[in-house]
Chain A
């Protein structure tokens, strides 16, 4: 007896490929456009990087020489291509202020920011989905009201204030975790993770509140559909219907929000890293902005934008996994 999965027509498969290719093309085009925007914004910023590097005392000739060396006098299009080509080969140039390759700075910092964002995302998802399921299952009853009241409050809390309160409670009062700073992964997994716990919670809880609300309302929406009644008429108990039929159909809005949250978490780390004095990408870009280290700014921004686009692409692809209708209708 062949399983239901073995038979696949060629139709939906080619349609699926077309969908994937289209999404991929859109993601690439967005990336190219975004790089142009970043390049253009930094072009119009007042201030000469060569002058900045050499200091106020340098002569005009010295500056001009450096400008030529840095390729700043080349035509705009050429400079863009040079810059974009560099990005592709991970050659981001040298930082004006640190005088080291930007890629080294990024490499150093990404090992703090990426784990932080991932832990926060995992934490947020692990809290939000069960709460959403719980609330939707008890729609309109006391449990739902309490859970959603808490979520409503969670959405309203700014993460950096929440971070301050966490520091006050756990670091100052209870002295359970360090108030800030990062010992580095070299100091061992535990101390490093300990330093990331509070920042991750501060980032995750407000996001979890949003995600729980979205999960609940998506589930409730789905639970009103006709096919839920069909499933109930089959004799499935409410809980089984929730898990087997409602959850998967409710995944599309949930995935959308998850994708958006990743972008939000990446940006959220800028402020949270400042609160906790974590040497991550956010602090790097923030310091670079205040020091006008433009090459660092544009590199990190491009990196974050690329990450967001990649995650959005991933979300688009997971839509196709969840919803068979997308597979046959590009």
Chain B
């Protein structure tokens, strides 16, 4: 007997169909993985079960939870279910908690509401629950406010809220997407343990096939609001019968073909970072005192040669983005020097930096935020031409933009469009077009594919690889994702607490990590091959 049973569920918002004939079930103690790319309707499916849909949504079909017809249930009935029998964990831990209430109040609130327990009793239960999710009383008293916790700790609080009353079903919507791999592994372990302890059903929603494979007994693959394939996880993914399943699986393990790779220490250094340190002033603790400054980057030295592709990997907050900003001369180091093409770029005026900027460009993570929404593509892509000695005239400029667009697989006709007319993947192509228009020697890319769906991600990685081969551009990839590092880089540097703790050939570092930090990253990174193999082994 299933705990949750969804039969031919369809949903429309206005005239737009969002879900079509969804079939899905979760048994007690079972983990059901719901996989799909953005816009596939995974989150809407979860919100349907919770009946927390947008006002205009219309549903047909049947959703039964524990014998209750959810689609027909009254709001009062749903309030009794939510938080008591069905718990939910959301994607964004930074915003999921009320900033003006203590974590104790927020965990105890649901307990008091559903059980009518006294404040003291509810607080005691909240305390136990927080202990259980790994937030011990000594460091995390109930009186803590959310802003005093890190992202991973906040997600633990959200899990504590969802599981406080031992629900029969837990819905986790991308619970680890906003966290780095090490935290992801910890949160997944916690969820797995809670499921086993309480015999909860878990509906795990994720875009990440590897995560779902590691966690789920069965999976359902969604695309454009329809179920593509569903079944036993190991079998579905090892056989890959459905073409879309195969496409997803291949895209998530995609490694672009690159003929030439560059070895460590070949040729003249293009970029040389010498004992660079960056401190941020400490938090003010009283009117006259500040705590000790935080050291974001700590005595980092390395060099890169032309055409080389280097990945800088590390957990979030390890200082990799700060380092990238200093290399791009957007921020100055507290001490140390950075040389680009043999010239020092630290402490230079914008005018003196012009020639360096010509050879050094950047691609950002967020394809939505990195373009001025009020400018057309022509102006956006042409922006770096600002650093040329001789400014191109209108016709020359259009010619250069057209070339750059062509090189990234877009049409010169796209020049007169606004950025919102492009999809996420196309925007990242625009980003790359903007970065290569001055024919730079180095492109720094900060998490360039982590906001993209896997199939788009594979295409963008191919593009990076192609431009590296064709134009000989060196890359410094900043990423927390080892799959990306493996796909695109010759060398890997592992950063931890502001220091570079390991450096070497990509395959060597990722296959045989030496430092503790590198081992933690590699161990925590979800890997589809490994996950499928383990599933098959377990099932014999």
Contact = CB atoms under 8 A, between A and B. Distances in A.
Q: Determine whether A and B are in direct contact in the complex, meaning some CB atoms lie less than 8 angstroms apart.
A: yes
A8 interface: yes
Contacts of B50: 232-233
Which of A7, A17, A140 has the most chain B CB atoms inside 10 A of its CB?
Answer: A7
A98 interface: no
Interface in A173-229: 225-227, 229
Interface string B64-107: 00000000000110011111100110101001111111101110
A71 interface: no
B52 A229 contact: yes
Given A232-B52, A235-B79, A325-B145, A227 B287 contact: no
Contacts of B92: 226
Contacts of A14: 285-286
Contacts of B113: 234-236, 240
Interface string A145-186: 000000000000000000000000000000000000000000
Contacts of B158: 230
A235 B80 contact: yes
B147 A325 contact: yes
A37 to B, nearest CB: 28
Contacts of B284: 15, 18, 330
B110 interface: yes
Interface string B147-176: 110000000001001100000000000000
B90 A230 contact: yes
Contacts of A329: 283
B109 interface: yes
Contacts of B145: 324-325, 328
B79 A236 contact: yes
Nearest to B52: A232
Contacts of B106: 230
Interface in A1-51: 1, 3-8, 11, 14-15, 17-18, 21-22
A93 to B, nearest CB: 37
Given A1-B123, A15-B285, A227-B95, A234 B100 contact: no
Contact of B100 (A231, A240, A324): A324
B114 interface: yes
B130 to A, nearest CB: 12
Interface residues of B, number: 48
A55 interface: no
Chain A interface, DSSP helix/strand/loop, else mixed: helix
B82 A7 contact: no
A233 B162 contact: yes
A165 B367 CA distance: 57
B336 interface: no
A245 interface: yes
B124 A226 contact: no
A108 interface: no
Contact of B143 (A5, A22, A140, A230): A5
A232 B113 CA distance: 12
Nearest to A22: B287
Contact of B286 (A3, A15, A231, A244): A15
A11 B119 CA distance: 27
Contacts of A17: 286-287
A140 B55 CA distance: 10
Contacts of B472: none
A18 B283 CA distance: 12
A235 B95 contact: no
A160 B474 CA distance: 71
By size class, the interface of chain A is 35 or more
Contacts of B104: 4
A245 B79 contact: no
Interface string A253-277: 0000000000000000000000000
B304 interface: no
Contact of A230 (B55, B148, B161, B286): B161
A2 to B, nearest CB: 8
A245 B106 CA distance: 10
B98 A227 contact: yes
A14 B102 CA distance: 19
Contacts of B147: 324-325, 328
A212 to B, nearest CB: 22
A236 B88 CA distance: 13
B120 interface: yes
Given A324-B100, A325-B99, A18 B287 contact: yes
A244 to B, nearest CB: 8
A75 interface: no
A53 interface: no
Given A17-B287, A18-B284, A233-B82, A226 B100 contact: no
Contacts of A140: 55
B99 A234 contact: no
B84 to A, nearest CB: 6
A322 B100 contact: yes
B100 A235 contact: no
A220 to B, nearest CB: 13
Given A15-B286, A18-B286, A230 B100 contact: no
B84 A235 contact: yes
B287 A21 contact: yes
B142 interface: yes
Contacts of B161: 230, 234
B297 to A, nearest CB: 23
A306 to B, nearest CB: 24
Nearest to B108: A4
B131 to A, nearest CB: 14
A1 B99 contact: no
Contacts of A231: 98, 109
A1 B108 CA distance: 14
A4 B142 CA distance: 6
B52 A249 contact: no
A225 B83 contact: no
B384 interface: no
A11 B144 CA distance: 12
Contacts of A237: 75-76, 79
Nearest to B75: A237
Interface in B111-136: 113-114, 119-120, 123-124
B143 A234 contact: no
A82 interface: no
Given A4-B142, A18-B287, A324-B145, A235 B82 contact: yes
B94 to A, nearest CB: 9
A3 B123 contact: yes
B269 interface: no
A7 to B, nearest CB: 5
Interface in A96-121: none
Nearest to B164: A234
A325 B94 CA distance: 14
Given A5-B143, A229-B52, A234 B82 contact: yes
Contacts of B504: none
A233 B99 contact: no
B285 A235 contact: no
The 4 A-B pairs with the shortest beta carbon distances in the complex, nearest first, are A235-B83, A234-B83, A234-B110, A235-B82
7 contacts: A3-B120, A7-B141, A21-B287, A226-B96, A248-B100, A324-B99, A325-B147
Interface of B: 50, 52, 55, 75-76, 79-84, 87-88, 90, 92, 95-102, 104-106, 109-110, 113-114, 119-120, 123-124, 141-143, 145, 147-148, 158, 161-162, 283-287
Given A229-B52, A328-B148, 14 more contacts: A4-B105, A7-B143, A17-B286, A227-B98, A227-B99, A233-B83, A237-B76, A245-B101, A323-B99, A324-B102, A324-B147, A325-B145, A325-B147, A328-B145
